[in-house]
Amino acid sequence: MDIKQYVIDKASLARAAARKMSIIDTNTKNRALNAMAEALIKNQDIIISANSKDMENGKKNGTSEAMLDRLLLNEKRIKEISNSLKDVALLKDPIGKVDRMWKIENGLQIGQIKVPLGVIGMIYESRPNVTVDAAALCIKSGNCVILRGGSDAINSNIALSNIITEAAISSGLPKGCIQLLEVTDREAVNVMMKLNRYIDVLIPRGGASLINNVVKNASVPVIQTGVGNCHIFVDESADFKIAKDIIINAKVQRPGVCNALETLLIHESISEKFLPELKKVLDDNKVKIKGCIKTKNILPNIELASEDDWKNEYLDLILAVKIVSSIDESIDHIYKYGTKHSEAIITNDYNNSQKFLNEVDAAAVYVNASTRFTDGSQFGFGAEIGISTQKLHARGPMALENLTTIKSIIYGQGQIRK
């Protein structure tokens, strides 16, 4: 197979479909989304069968339990994915929304209206639900999407894509609006990254190596998402029970996702009392601790952390722990090692909570809450296409509004510029 031509053919079809998608009415888009939701439930046996092949391959390849959890599809998860499509259908369509309108001195009336980005290229890993979430948000926002998932989920992605694409086209959407690259060769990504003629923006979603590769090598504009070296700082005034509950939720609930806790910072004045209590609940949840020398002095049986541990997004039941002397040291540590994703402070000190909110540079900053809430549906946006950790165009959970751009529209009565 000629990989380059294969990708270009897919992209060309998406480019042609984008012109039609940009003017599809809201009712047609919603009808397609609901049909896609019903098709997933109707064909869940096909999806589960395809997913079982990916799960078997993952186990053979020594994939971690946390990563296998990201990959797994069952009836409950398929139902959740189906419901997310219905939720997107209920969201207000941003296309055609006039943000503002004004008149200038010569009588020209100028307005700004929301329009689609065009063709969005999604490059992602592991989580097959992204195939559906990305397609849903692109459809509702009038965009076409080219999907390139990871090799570990290829069978699941093909099954999901075939099912939702057939439902979408049968509901009146143009052929080419959803395109899945059914090849696992990395050359396909290399080709995608250079297709400025066909693709308007790339959104990489996955690990650091994937995102860095796209950011460094793409000529197509990129929205950077995903890598989550998330921290929680337990302040000296923290309520221990609240702190333990939040830490366990942030680390254990789904350790293989980007908003999970990776590094815990603890104020030295409470460390000797708090750490032994925390270790008991971490042990109960099979979390391995890697700590600084001060942490190891209190918990001698843990592994000593290296410099790399402060940088790691483990995506596993592993937690780096560092004792700090002050809130300023915690913020300094986050500035040095954080990925601008999600950071939290556990405190009963109002001044410290405000200092943390004001000084920590991240897409989401929490006071006394789990970092696991950084999610489009949790924020009330509906499904998300990713969590942007950059500052231009979009930041945080990216939903419908972030998949649009502005067109200026001008009404005149024959004015000419002098």
Long-range contacts of 306-309 (CB under 8 A, 24+ apart): 309/263
pLDDT at 206 over 90: no
C-alpha 372/C-alpha 370 separation (Å) is: 5
The count of other CB atoms within 10 Å of the CB of residue 319 is: 27
List, for residues 263-286, the tens digit of each pLDDT value. Answer: 999 999 999 999 999 999 999 999
List, for residues 138-149, the tens digit of each pLDDT value. Answer: 999 999 999 999
CB 250 within 8 A of CB 228: no
Model pLDDT, residue 1: 82
Categorize the per-residue pLDDT at 199 as very low, low, confident or very high, splitting at 50, 70 and 90: very high
What mean pLDDT value characterizes the chain? 94
At residue 212, φ and ψ (nearest 5 deg) are: -60, -40
**Helix count (H) and strand count (E) of the chain?**
14, 16
C-alpha 261/C-alpha 321 separation (Å) is: 11
Query: Which residue segments constitute the domains of the chain, with CATH numbers given?
Result: 3-224+390-411 (3.40.605.10), 230-373 (3.40.309.10)
Model pLDDT, residue 380: 81
Per DSSP, the residues of 198-250 read: T-SEEEEES-HHHHHHHHHH-SS-B--B----EEEEE-TT--HHHHHHHHHHH
Closest CA to 290 of 311, 255, 321, 315: 321
Query: Which residues sit opposite 114 in a β-bridge?
Result: 406
77-106 mean pLDDT: 94
Categorize the per-residue pLDDT at 67 as very low, low, confident or very high, splitting at 50, 70 and 90: confident
pLDDT at 406 over 80: yes
Cβ-Cβ contacts under 8 Å for 85 (sequence gap 6 or more): 33, 34, 36, 37, 40, 132, 136, 383
C-alpha 108/C-alpha 113 separation (Å) is: 16
CB 139 within 8 A of CB 18: no
Categorize the per-residue pLDDT at 391 as very low, low, confident or very high, splitting at 50, 70 and 90: confident
The count of other CB atoms within 10 Å of the CB of residue 2 is: 9
CA atoms within 13 A on the CB side of 85: 29
Q: Which one-letter amino acid corresponds to residue 348?
A: N
